[in-house]
Structure 1
Amino acid sequence: MTLTFVRSARRAQLVEAAIRSLADLGVEGASLSRIAEHAGVSRGVVNYHFPGGRRELFEAAVDEIYDLGRREVQPETESAPSPRRGLASFVRGSVAFYARHPIHLRALTAIYTSRTEDSLRRDERTEHATEMMSVADLLRRGQATGEMRDFDVTLMALTIRAVLDTAVGLTAAGADPDVLADELVNTLDAATRALP
């Protein structure tokens, strides 16, 4: 094994420990010592791999969660045969992701809702902006092909994001993800599709 591989594996282990700590304890309780304990290492190991402290580690956790979401949701969304089907795939894939990874979503929610000095804001993250631009592009394509009606694309993209944010909470509270996804797909399709 190369040193780079070992370092990369250790960083991934620490990020996973941070995600679990954040989900269990929130930002306030997820100290570097607690994260080290979760990972089964000393705090010095955490400091070595994340010299920027908790904020750097939280940023790496957010990166990992978004990367996981992209890997699970993006391929089917991008390969959909039409914008309407792409929107349906994005919504279904997002809800399924929330259901499969509740720990990751609790950690992300903890990071974004905390008001500590090392917390992060979703609207400051490039991943969030990229996702919003992708949704807006999908909606514009739907309008260009005539599948979707005329509406303010930015407002609709924000509406879709708000609906999916609500789905995170509903999924965490035990809602059936398939039923929820069906309802959201039908609702958002009705809100966006062009009338015959």
Structure 2
Amino acid sequence: MGRTFTESARRAQIVQGAIEALAEVGYAKTSFAKIAKQAGLSSTGMISYHFAGKDDLMREVAGEVMRVSQAYMLPRIEQAEGFRGRLRAYIESNIELLAVYPKHLAALLEVLPNMRGDDPSWAGYHQSLRSVMDVLQQRMAQAQALGEFREFDTWVMITAVRGAIDAVVTRWHTEPDLDVARLATELADLFDRATRREP
């Protein structure tokens, strides 16, 4: 049986409260009391009613961040022109998330290291990331076949792209005033030069 609109809205309210708490005080200090305060709830009982425990709620936080990220990035990537444009949009939209959804990304960076290896959300997150990288590899190979990209090992290139994005995200976590827009442009320019076929 599905959740009612009211139940879904309450869960979303709690998840948003958890995101704000995680971004503000970190994973260790994010208690149900802190989440209830952030979510504007009178007691922690409402959280316990909707979630089986902290792990259950943290899984939902990770899922929500991934949903928000995908909803922001996909339209930008799909609207870009050509393979070079889509690669640029992928890099820039990944890093733009830091400015558009700073609390969401900060929360995810708190949650992921605290998920156990056997946690289905941990496996789901990495499977989702792996799927995205597989698609990007396929697109790069198509761009090479059509002559838009030069010849290179697509796995090496997409691993370098992902590593560079992750490095920016990690640095931003300790330097929140980082000029992410400038870094997004620099990385996009760097990988455009690294992948394009020269005339």
* 2:165 is equivalent to residue 151 of structure 1: no
Write the letter of the residue equivalent to 1:160. V
What are the residue-to-residue correspondences of 1:45-60 with 2, within 5 Å? 45-51=46-52, 53-60=53-60
The aligned counterpart of 1:136 is: 137
Ranges in structure 1 where 5+ consecutive residues have no aligned partner: none
* 2:190 is equivalent to residue 187 of structure 1: yes
**Structure 1: 4+ residue segments shifted above 3 A:** 114-124, 169-172
Q: String of CA shifts for 1:71-103, please: whole Å, max 9, x gaps.
A: 111112123221111001111112211112211
Identical aligned pairs, as a percentage?
Answer: 32
Q: String of CA shifts for 1:141-184, please: whole Å, max 9, x gaps.
A: 22222111222222222211111112224445223233212211
Counterpart contact for 1:32–1:43, Cα < 8 Å: yes
Counterpart contact for 2:62–2:121, Cα < 8 Å: no
Residues 108-117 or 5-14, more deviating: 108-117
The aligned counterpart of 1:15 is: 15
Whole-angstrom CA distance in 1 between matches of 2:56 and 2:108: 14
Whole-angstrom CA distance in 1 between matches of 2:99 and 2:139: 24
Write the letter of the residue equivalent to 2:7. R
Write the letter of the residue equivalent to 1:128. L
Ranges in structure 2 where 5+ consecutive residues have no aligned partner: none
The aligned counterpart of 1:161 is: 162
Q: Does the C-alpha gap of structure 1 residues 117 and 87 become closer, same or farther in structure 2, counting only changes over 3 Å? A: closer
Whole-angstrom CA distance in 2 between matches of 1:181 and 1:148: 20
Whole-angstrom CA distance in 2 between matches of 1:137 and 1:78: 15
Counterpart contact for 1:28–1:116, Cα < 8 Å: no
The aligned counterpart of 1:91 is: 91
Q: Does the C-alpha gap of structure 1 residues 140 and 79 become closer, same or farther in structure 2, counting only changes over 3 Å? A: farther
The aligned counterpart of 1:178 is: 181
Residues 119-128 or 79-88, more deviating: 119-128
Question: How far has the Cα of 1:31 moved from its partner?
Answer: 2.1
Whole-angstrom CA distance in 2 between matches of 1:6 and 1:195: 56
Whole-angstrom CA distance in 1 between matches of 2:171 and 2:154: 26
The aligned counterpart of 2:30 is: 30
TM-score by length of 1: 0.87
Whole-angstrom CA distance in 1 between matches of 2:50 and 2:9: 11
Question: How far has the Cα of 1:34 moved from its partner?
Answer: 2.2
The aligned counterpart of 1:40 is: 40
